[in-house]
């Protein structure tokens, strides 16, 4: 006969021993676990011609390695590895009991939940929707009464089904918040790359134990491979210190918080109904009654996001002015003290006007990140995700997708790369793919300077409102695209969702500052390295090969012709004025000066247009003009594929190379306002294009890696750019036709 081993586990007094007796009758044996005085009860039974070896584990609340009972229970599960666990859960104390269940699920051994003492629960006025609980937690749930043996046959059926099905309960992963999740991604990679302790435990579980600083697992890890073990401990130490300074907590406590949050979120979905409400609501729950209310919740959410933008634009205006002032000064300084030539052009047009444009928004980014940290650290962000879950499932996405959207910059200032990786928490491959393909539409930190530039220059009076509209458009577009994809190339059913709701916390000032600083520093670092490098390359592409000698001569002849038509005194006047600022030009000299400047400008523009990048931009113009983009904007958009900040730095360089007036230190925003071919309508078209067009190169790589094929990376580039062009085309054409936003 076939043989299988099953363990009984659960909290003390949940009815394990009673259930054990009901299952095995007299066929049992009492002994001790090896080396300890903890009692071990073993028994045998058979069901459907299968022999079952059943072990009653010591009752524990947790699977940490603190008490002897816990160690015995855990060692039995990891070393002897029963094929399944019957988890006895006291129906009247679901929250506490499910805490143990969650840990069993994380351990990866197939779990069948025996929802015990339903008779006693009923007497206390509690009834539980076992089907709903089962679908939300991802394990079979059978109501039982151990005293009478009710439900035991069904439990055995499910257990045997689980042992036959090599899938077990399927994937089970809880998110532990951004800090720990990021650390886990690194830890899990190291563990699976080196098959670290792989014989004994599941990858994610080992990682969690390192984060929890579990001495037993760490000792085993040191014996297995001390180098890898030290690497894991180092990552755990780093995040531990970080949590201490930012949230004044430590990983084990945070992990417990999120586990309880996960359980509470399940229980909140009408799993438990009580005849009389005996528990007084906790403060967090009271706040949630209002904040996640069907009517008030979304209104509060919009108000919070609008408030964030308002706060950012209002308070960052002055410091942004200072930084811009600094770059204007630097520009003027370099113009005065450097002699004309390539170096000067590189420094002024390539670096100061290019990268400076990106760095100019650092204060704005800082205020934005401060606001986001406040929303996140307080626990409100989790509520946003919770509320959006219902909306998301309507569009064929999953509640966990909300977090991926937010990580990608759903509210502002994230990055699609970790967003794509966050989709790993999705079990259904279809929902995962739909999430991966739509997160790049979010307003990531790299798009922020583009939005800030265009909104600031063309929608100056209503910056916060415009930002809110941009956010809503990005979300709307992402959700509609997801729906479209889920109805066509990746159609299939949706899976249920449980959102972890950690308790509200009062954020600490120190924590907020550290989070703000970390994110701002990343932005600055990227601008100073990647963006700087690409800007220099683009400057070169926009500078070389320059004009041919014959064209240069033509412009020179034009200048000579102007000069020869003028009086000698006028020319002398201009030459003198170039050396001495205090000289006032006469009417005639002013007009000649202006004409000469126009020639210079035409020469500079011809040089830019003749450059490699200029030729590419010009070649695209016959198509792009239908969306309102000229060849300069095209260069910026092509450059933006490398990184979205490049849109700003390239426009900066393009309008700097075109400008020849050494006195012109106006900001890029001011230049765009007065440049021909620009209007609020063009800016809007460009904003929309930037939201939707091909994700940046790094994101495309992440998409390809995460989906396992270049096909999806290529798809996102082609699909997004087509979508973006269609939208910009329609907006620009309709806007032009009706003369809207003409400026
Ligand atoms: P263990 O500590 O998990 O082994 O729990 P026990 O099996 O010793 O049970 C604890 C108490 O709960 C005992 O008094 C049992 O009679 C009682 N009990 C167990 N299962 C049930 C049940 O389904 N309904 C009711 N009403 N009582 C139960
Ligand atoms: Mg017992």
How does pLDDT run across 594-646, given as a tens digit for each residue?
Answer: 888 888 888 888 999 999 999 999 999 999 999 999 999 999 999 999 999 99
Q: Tell me the CA–centroid distance for residue 647 and ligand 1, in Å.
A: 68
The ligand 1 atom at the shortest distance from the C-alpha of residue 116 is 23
Q: For the segment 99-150, what is each residue's pLDDT rounded down to a tens digit?
A: 999 999 999 899 999 999 999 888 888 889 999 999 999 999 999 999 999 9
Collect residues with CB below 5 Å from ion ligand 2.
17
CB of 432 closer than 6 A to ligand 1? no
**pLDDT of residue 433 exceeding 50:** yes
Write the pLDDT tens digit of every residue in 526-556.
888 888 999 999 999 999 898 888 999 999 9
Q: What atom in ligand 1 is closest to the CA of residue 14?
A: 3
Q: Report the nearest atom of ligand 1 relative to the CA of 144.
A: 23
Testing ligand 1's pocket by substitution, the residue of 11, 18, 24, 92 carrying the most ligand atoms inside 8 A of its CB is 18
Quote the ligand 1 centre to 121 CA distance (angstroms): 12
- Residue with CA nearest ligand 1 atom 22: 117
In a domain, 554, yes or no: yes
Ligand 1 proximity of 148 Cβ (cutoff 6 Å): no
Do 369 and 306 fall into the same domain? Answer: yes
Q: Is the peptide bond before 671 cis (omega within 30 degrees of 0)?
A: no
Mutation pick for ligand 1 pocket among 12, 13, 119 (CB with most ligand atoms within 8 Å): 13
Whose atoms come closest to the Cα of 14: which ligand? Answer: 1
Q: Round the CA-based radius of gyration of the chain to a whole number and report it.
A: 33
Q: Kindly state whether residues 196 and 219 are assigned to the same domain.
A: yes
Residue that terminates a domain, selected from 610, 641, 656: 610
Ligand 1: atom nearest CA of 148 is 23
Q: Among 240, 245, 248, which Cα is nearest to 210's? A: 240
DSSP bridge pairs for 6: 54, 84
Question: 43 alpha carbon to ligand 1 midpoint, in Å?
Answer: 18
Pair (42, 127) in one structural domain: yes
Domain membership flag for residue 280:
no
Residue 13 CA to ligand 1 center (angstroms) comes to: 6
Which residue would you say has higher pLDDT here, 88 or 701? Answer: 88
CATH code, domain with 152: 3.40.50.300
As to burial, measured by CB atoms within 10 angstroms (0-12 exposed, 13-18 middle, 19+ buried), residue 639 is: buried
- Same domain? For 21 and 148 the reply is yes
Are residue 19 and residue 127 in the same domain, yes or no? yes
pLDDT tier at 659 (50, 70, 90 boundaries)? low
Average model confidence (pLDDT) across the chain? 89
Q: How many CB atoms lie within 10 A of CB 697?
A: 13
Distance CA 148, CA 163 (A): 26
Give the Å distance between the CA of 97 and the centre of ligand 1. Answer: 14
Domain identity same for 589 and 501: no
pLDDT above 70 as % of the chain = 96
Distance from Cα 14 to the centre of ligand 2, integer Å:
8
- The pLDDT score that the predictor gives to residue 594 is 83
Tally of domains in the chain: 4
- How would you classify residue 41: left for phi > 0, otherwise alpha for psi between -120 and 50, otherwise beta? beta
Question: Does 21 sit in the ligand 1 pocket, CB within 6 Å?
Answer: no
Determine whether 647 is exposed, middle or buried from the number of CB atoms within 10 Å of its CB (0-12, 13-18, 19+).
buried
Cα 72 versus chain centre, distance: 40
In angstroms, what is the span from residue 17 Cα to ligand 2's centroid?
Answer: 4
* pLDDT value of residue 28: 75
The H or E element spanning position 42 is: strand 39-47
pLDDT in tens, 306-356: 999 999 989 998 998 899 889 888 888 888 888 888 888 899 888 988 898
Where a domain ends, among 569, 594, 610? 610
| Residue to mutate, 116, 147, 148, 152, ligand 1, most ligand atoms under 8 Å from C-beta | 147
Confirm whether pTM is higher than 0.75. Answer: no
97 lines ligand 1 (CB under 6 A): no
pLDDT of residue 281: 53
Ligand 1 in contact with 149 (CB < 6 A)? Answer: no
Distance between Cα 283 and ligand 2 center (Å)? 36
CA dist., res. 376 & res. 383, Å (int) = 10
Same domain, 476 and 372: yes
Q: Ligand 1: does its nearest atom lie under 6 Å from the Cβ of 17?
A: yes
- The CA 65 to ligand 1 mean position distance, Å, reads 26
Burial of 571 by CB count in 10 Å (0-12 exposed, 13-18 middle, 19+ buried)?
middle
| Residue 544 located in a structural domain | no
Structure confidence by residue, pLDDT tens digits, 208-255: 999 999 989 999 999 999 999 999 999 999 999 999 998 888 899 899
Domain extent, residue 38, equals 2-164
Q: Are residues 566 and 484 in the same domain?
A: no
Q: Which ligand has its closest atom nearest to the C-alpha of 20?
A: 1
6-34 tens-digit pLDDT: 999 999 889 999 999 999 987 777 777 77
Q: Would 643 be classed as within a structural domain?
A: no
Does a structural domain hold residue 502? yes
Question: DSSP string spanning 450-469?
Answer: HHHHHHHHHSGGGHHHHHHH
Assess whether pLDDT exceeds 70 at residue 664: no
In a domain, 112, yes or no: yes
Q: Above 50 in pLDDT, residue 684?
A: yes
Last residue of some domain: 131, 164, 197? 164
User: Which ligand has the nearest atom to the CA of 38?
Assistant: 2
Any domain includes 188: yes
Q: Pick the ligand that lies closest to the CA of residue 16.
A: 1
Task: Judge whether 235 and 180 are in contact, CB under 8 Å.
Answer: no
Cα end-to-end distance, the chain, whole Å: 85
**414 Cβ closer than 6 Å to some ligand 1 atom:** no
Separation in Å, CA 466 to CA 54, 320, 627, 649, 684: 64, 19, 20, 22, 10
SS (H, E, C) 52-72: EEEEECCCCCCCCCCCHHHHH
Residues 260 and 212 both lie in one domain: yes
Do residue 126 and residue 249 come from a single domain?
no
Residue 116 Cβ < 6 Å to ligand 1 = yes
520 lines ligand 1 (CB under 6 A): no
pLDDT digits (tens, 9 = 90+) for 276-314: 544 545 677 788 888 988 889 999 999 999 999 999 989
- Residue owning tokens 């805490």: 99
pLDDT value of residue 240: 95
- With a 6 A CB cut-off, is 124 part of the ligand 1 pocket? no
Instruction: Report the pLDDT value the prediction gives residue 591, as an integer from 0 to 100.
Output: 83
Does 634 map to a domain? no
Residues 59 and 137 in one domain: yes
- Ligand with minimal distance to 144 CA: 1
Measured distance CA(671)–CA(680) in Å, rounded: 14
Lowest mean pLDDT among 45-49, 58-62, 658-662: 658-662
Total H helices, total E strands in the chain:
34, 9
In testing the pocket of ligand 1, which one of 15, 21, 22, 59 has its CB within 8 Å of the most ligand atoms? Answer: 15
CA distance 170 to 201: 16
Q: Are residues 206 and 145 in the same domain?
A: no
16 lines ligand 1 (CB under 6 A): yes
Residue 13, ligand 1, Cβ within 6 A: yes
């Amino acid at each position: 006969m076939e043989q299988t081993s099953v363990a009984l586990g659960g909290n003390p007094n949940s009815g394990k021993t009673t259930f054990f007796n009901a299952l095995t009758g007299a066929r049992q044996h009492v002994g001790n676990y090896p080396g300890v005085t903890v009692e071990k009860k073993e028994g045998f039974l058979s069901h459907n011609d299968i022999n079952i070896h059943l072990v009653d584990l010591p009752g524990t609340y947790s699977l940490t390695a603190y008490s002897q009972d816990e160690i015995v229970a855990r060692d039995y599960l990891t070393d002897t590895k029963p094929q399944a666990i019957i988890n006895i859960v006291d129906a009247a104390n679901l929250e506490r009991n499910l805490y143990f269940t969650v840990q069993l699920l994380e351990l990866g051994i197939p779990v069948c939940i025996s929802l015990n003492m339903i008779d006693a629960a009923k007497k206390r006025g509690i009834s539980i929707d076992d089907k709903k609980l089962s679908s939300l937690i991802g394990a079979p749930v059978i109501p039982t009464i151990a005293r009478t043996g009710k439900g035991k046959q069904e439990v055995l059926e499910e257990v045997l089904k689980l042992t036959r099905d090599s899938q077990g309960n399927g994937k089970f992963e809880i998110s532990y918040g951004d800090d720990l999740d990021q650390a886990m991604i690194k830890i899990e990679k190291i563990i699976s790359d080196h098959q670290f302790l792989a014989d004994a435990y599941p990858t994610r579980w080992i990682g969690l134990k390192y984060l929890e600083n579990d001495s037993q697992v760490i000792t085993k890890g040191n014996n297995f491979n001390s180098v890898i073990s030290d690497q894991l401990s180092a990552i755990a130490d780093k995040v531990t210190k970080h949590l201490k300074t930012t949230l004044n907590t430590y990983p084990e406590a945070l992990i417990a918080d999120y586990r309880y949050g996960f359980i509470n979120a399940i229980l909140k979905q009408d799993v438990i109904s009580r005849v009389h409400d005996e528990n007084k609501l906790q403060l967090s729950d009271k706040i949630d009654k209002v904040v996640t209310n069907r009517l008030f919740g979304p209104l509060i959410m919009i108000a919070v996001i609008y408030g964030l933008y308002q706060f950012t634009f209002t308070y960052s205006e002055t410091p942004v002015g200072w930084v811009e002032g600094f770059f204007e000064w630097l520009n003027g300084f370099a113009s005065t003290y450097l002699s004309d030539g390539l170096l000067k052009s590189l420094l002024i047009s390539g670096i100061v006007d290019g990268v400076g444009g990106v760095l100019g928004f650092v204060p704005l980014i800082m205020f934005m990140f401060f606001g986001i940290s406040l929303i996140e650290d307080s626990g409100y962000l989790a509520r946003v995700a919770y509320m959006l879950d219902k909306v998301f499932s309507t569009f064929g996405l999953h509640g966990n997708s909300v977090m991926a959207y937010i990580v990608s910059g759903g509210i502002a200032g994230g990055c699609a790369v970790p967003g794509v990786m966050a989709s790993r928490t999705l079990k259904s491959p279809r929902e995962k793919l739909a999430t991966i393909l739509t997160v790049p539409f979010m307003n990531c930190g790299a798009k922020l300077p583009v939005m800030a530039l265009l909104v600031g220059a063309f929608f100056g009076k209503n910056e916060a409102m415009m930002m809110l509209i941009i956010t809503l458009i990005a979300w709307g577009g992402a959700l509609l695209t997801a729906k479209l994809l889920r109805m066509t190339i990746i159609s299939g059913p949706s899976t249920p969702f449980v959102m972890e709701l950690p308790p509200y916390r009062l954020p600490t000032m120190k924590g907020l500052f550290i989070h703000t600083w970390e994110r701002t520093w990343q932005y600055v670092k990227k601008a100073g390295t990647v963006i700087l490098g690409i800007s220099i390359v683009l400057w070169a592409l926009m500078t070389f090969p320059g004009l041919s000698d014959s064209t240069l001569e033509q412009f020179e002849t034009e200048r000579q012709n102007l000069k020869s038509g003028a009086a000698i005194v006028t020319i002398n006047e201009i030459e003198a004025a170039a050396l001495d600022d205090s000289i006032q030009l006469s009417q005639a000299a002013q007009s000649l000066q202006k004409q000469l400047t126009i020639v210079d400008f035409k020469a500079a523009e011809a040089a830019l247009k003749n450059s490699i990048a200029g030729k590419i931009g010009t070649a695209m113009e016959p198509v792009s003009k239908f969306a309102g983009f000229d060849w300069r904007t095209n260069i910026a958009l092509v450059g933006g594929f490398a990184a979205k900040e490049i849109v700003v730095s390239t426009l900066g360089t393009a309008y700097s190379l075109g400008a020849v007036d050494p006195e012109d230190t106006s900001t890029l925003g001011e230049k765009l306002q007065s440049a021909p071919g620009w209007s609020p309508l063009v800016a809007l078209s460009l904003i929309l294009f930037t939201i939707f067009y091909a994700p940046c190169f790094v994101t495309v790589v992440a998409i390809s890696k995460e989906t396992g094929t270049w096909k999806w990376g290529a798809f996102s580039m082609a699909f997004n750019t087509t979508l973006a062009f269609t939208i910009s085309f329609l907006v620009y054409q309709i806007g032009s036709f009706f003369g809207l936003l003409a400026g």
